[in-house]
Amino acid sequence: MKKKYLSLLSLFVAVLAFFSFKPQKPERPNIVFIMSDDHAYQAISAYSDKLLQTPNIDRIAKEGMLFTNACVTNSICAPSRAVILTGKHSHINGKIDNYFPFDTTNVTFPQLLQANGYQTAMFGKLHFGNNPKGFDEFKILPDQGHYYNPDFITKKQGKIKLTGYVTDLITDMTLNWLKQDRDKNKPFFLAYLHKAPHREWLPAERHYKEFINRKFPEPETLFDNYEGRGRASKEQEMNLLAHMNWAGDSKIRPENMDKLGIKESHPYDKGNYKATVGRMNETQRKEWDAVYDKMNAEFIQNYPNMTKEDLMSWRYQRYMQDYLGSIAAVDEGVGQVLDFLKENGLDKNTIVVYTSDQGFYLGEHGWFDKRFIFDESFKTPLLVKWPGVIQAGSRNSQMVQNLDFAQTFLAAAGIKAPSDMQGESLIPIFKGKGQNFRDAAYYHYYEYPSVHMVKRHYGIVTEQYKLVHFYYDINEWELYDRTNDKNEMKNVYHDPKYAKVRVELHKKLAKLRVKYKDSETLDKKYIEKYKELEAQGKIFK
């Protein structure tokens, strides 16, 4: 009798337990999306420590995954951001260059995260011309923003002007939001977006004092003469010696340029210097002048005896001192944010991404800036950590793109992505799967004729080859063998040895254009629209 009673009781307990059991939903991860502007992978020590140590950014790769072949679909600022937010190529989301307006009827992934219970915030550089949709809080730089004493457009206080150094201010805003405004009952998406190291490369006081004395190794191709390539490489305006601003970029005082008889590289050369260095307050300016006047004085002395080669080398060093110097504060800021997450137990369930809106030339081919499909601008840094999902210290060489972020974040949050997004979720790769993730990447650059004069082009990139079509005022095809010509110095399009490869790649490219819904009709439509903007005087040359 007692036995029967006991088994009835245990049955009752089991039934009760069954009905009271709610399957535990895994907690949705927080997402911290860190993006800098124009940060070349060559300037992150997780990729190469020839130029700079970035111990904090490297921590993301140490605790997560380093992507060695991440790339963009269109290597320029605002278009890259539009691709990231919409998960669609430029020709579909409509933001093909820095001038075209962003169509705000596009659905962006932060809007979907917010609608599905995420708290969302953005701090730093967006560069869109409009305020971001889908954010509970934002403080963004108007347009390109300034390094010293920048203005911010804010969601709650309108336009504000702050005193200080832009990278530190953006870091402080980010940390303050995490400390004070985070809703602990919701997962969050936080976009922490740096202006640095965008031109005109003004480091923080604590860094320029040190970096101005450093010397950096020159890239192999600094003195490239563009032989073996087509008109596009020859006719660009990205050369360190010919096109970099003497005052605005190299920080030779305008009056010293006059003294030496140096002409402006660009009509905005001296104007840029006044607009950027000129923003400093008296205290900041005093510190700056003490350091940069010494450099100016040395240059005045040496200039009369410098050859063209000496000048090229000098400009490269000056460029690296300021460019890399401005990354130092970014690395420190990233360290502070990672520390905060750890100290507050947030690191376990937070995806942290570090990337740039595109790559950048650090003197390779004699260049600065980006835009080209060639590796330094096409590839972009990408480091991701997600404890429990991504194995610490892993590396991945798949051709992932900025196109993939939207679907990745939505999938991580358990939200179904709209079917017209064009990327792929990276989660299989995070989990150590995703072999043969993408066998060919599609690329299309539009901003021409404009500053730096990189011609319009589209192309296909596979692990081994790159096939490119330059069009508009030219009709030239180029083909590069990525395995045997790492520096992309020789166009083998007309080489009979590559005839078969060429035919195959043409077919593949045509298929990709169809897959992503790009076409000659669209190319023409965008040229017409661009001409309208040109006629309205809206294009900067």
Given the rule CB under 6 A, which residues bind ligand SGN?
A: 37-38, 76-77, 98, 127, 144, 198-200, 248, 268, 272, 369, 451-452, 540
Residue closer to ligand SGN by CB (options 82, 190) is 82
Residue closer to Ca ion by CB (options 128, 299) is 128
Residue 347 in the binding site for Ca ion (CB under 5 A): no
Query: Residue 83 has which token pair?
Result: 């691709």
- Indicate the residue whose CB is closest to Ca ion: 77
Residue closer to Ca ion by CB (options 35, 107) is 35
In whole angstroms, the minimum distance from the beta carbon of 34 to Ca ion comes to 14
Tell me which of Ca ion, ligand SGN, none is bound by residue 380, counting a contact when its beta carbon lies within the kind-specific cut-off of 5 to 8 angstroms: none
Residue closer to Ca ion by CB (options 200, 357) is 357
Residue closer to Ca ion by CB (options 39, 502) is 39
Tell me which of ligand SGN, Ca ion, none is bound by residue 98, counting a contact when its beta carbon lies within the kind-specific cut-off of 5 to 8 angstroms: ligand SGN
Residue closer to ligand SGN by CB (options 226, 268) is 268
Other Cβ atoms within 10 Å of 465 Cβ, number: 21
- Total residues at interface with Ca ion (CB under 5 A): 4
Tell me which of ligand SGN, Ca ion, none is bound by residue 200, counting a contact when its beta carbon lies within the kind-specific cut-off of 5 to 8 angstroms: ligand SGN
Other Cβ atoms within 10 Å of 152 Cβ, number: 22
Residue closer to Ca ion by CB (options 37, 518) is 37
Q: Who contacts 367 (Cβ-Cβ below 8 Å, separation ≥6)?
A: 236, 238, 239, 240, 361, 376
In whole angstroms, the minimum distance from the beta carbon of 98 to ligand SGN comes to 5
In whole angstroms, the minimum distance from the beta carbon of 77 to Ca ion comes to 4
In whole angstroms, the minimum distance from the beta carbon of 273 to ligand SGN comes to 10
Residue closer to ligand SGN by CB (options 143, 339) is 143
In whole angstroms, the minimum distance from the beta carbon of 245 to ligand SGN comes to 6
In whole angstroms, the minimum distance from the beta carbon of 405 to ligand SGN comes to 18
Rounded CA-CA distance 496/492 in Å is: 8
Rounded CA-CA distance 53/302 in Å is: 30
| Residue of 28, 32, 33, 38 interacting with Ca ion (CB under 5 A) | 38
Residue 376 in the binding site for Ca ion (CB under 5 A): no
Q: Which long-range contacts (CB under 8 A, 24 or more apart) does 259-268 make?
A: 259/300, 260/300, 260/303
In the block, tokens 């999306």 appear at 33
- Indicate the residue whose CB is closest to ligand SGN: 77
In whole angstroms, the minimum distance from the beta carbon of 27 to ligand SGN comes to 36
CA distances from 438 to 31, 81, 143, 242 (A): 24, 21, 34, 38
Which strands form 476-481's sheet, in the order they lie side by side? 441-445, 457-461, 465-470, 476-481
Query: Residue 534 has which token pair?
Result: 């040109």
Residue 357 in the binding site for Ca ion (CB under 5 A): yes
Residue 269 in the binding site for Ca ion (CB under 5 A): no
Tell me which of ligand SGN, Ca ion, none is bound by residue 272, counting a contact when its beta carbon lies within the kind-specific cut-off of 5 to 8 angstroms: ligand SGN
**What is the phi-psi region of residue 203: left when phi exceeds 0, alpha when psi lies from -120 to 50, beta otherwise?**
beta
In whole angstroms, the minimum distance from the beta carbon of 199 to ligand SGN comes to 4
Residue closer to ligand SGN by CB (options 233, 398) is 233
Residue 37 in the binding site for Ca ion (CB under 5 A): yes
In the block, tokens 């950048």 appear at 360
Question: What is the Rg, in whole angstroms, of the alpha carbon atoms belonging to the chain?
Answer: 25
List, in sequence order, the alpha helices (H) in 177-304: 205-211, 231-235, 240-243, 254-260, 269-276, 282-302
Site string for Ca ion, 417-446 (x = CB under 5 A): ------------------------------
Query: Residue 508 has which token pair?
Result: 């593949």
Residue 369 in the binding site for Ca ion (CB under 5 A): no
In the block, tokens 């169809």 appear at 514
Q: Parallel, antiparallel, or unpaired: how do β-strands 137-141 and 30-36 relate?
A: unpaired
Phi, psi of 23 (to 5 degrees): -60, 130
Tell me which of ligand SGN, Ca ion, none is bound by residue 199, counting a contact when its beta carbon lies within the kind-specific cut-off of 5 to 8 angstroms: ligand SGN
Residue 97 in the binding site for Ca ion (CB under 5 A): no
Rounded CA-CA distance 207/211 in Å is: 6
In whole angstroms, the minimum distance from the beta carbon of 358 to ligand SGN comes to 8
In whole angstroms, the minimum distance from the beta carbon of 78 to Ca ion comes to 8
Residue closer to Ca ion by CB (options 86, 491) is 86
Which residues ranging from 54 to 83 are in contact with Ca ion (CB under 5 A)?
Answer: 77
Phi, psi of 48 (to 5 degrees): -160, 135
Residue 85 in the binding site for Ca ion (CB under 5 A): no
Q: Parallel, antiparallel, or unpaired: how do β-strands 188-193 and 119-125 relate?
A: parallel
CA distances from 343 to 59, 239, 246, 337, 393 (A): 15, 45, 45, 10, 21
In whole angstroms, the minimum distance from the beta carbon of 131 to ligand SGN comes to 18
In whole angstroms, the minimum distance from the beta carbon of 37 to Ca ion comes to 4
The residue among 435, 472, 369, 405 whose CA lies nearest residue 77 is 369
Phi, psi of 67 (to 5 degrees): -95, 120
Residue closer to ligand SGN by CB (options 365, 452) is 452
Tell me which of Ca ion, ligand SGN, none is bound by residue 322, counting a contact when its beta carbon lies within the kind-specific cut-off of 5 to 8 angstroms: none
Selected range binding Ca ion among 31-39, 173-181, 477-485, 499-507, rule: CB under 5 A: 31-39
The residue among 380, 385, 382, 381 whose CA lies nearest residue 337 is 385
Which residues here bind Ca ion, judged by CB under 5 A? 37-38, 77, 357
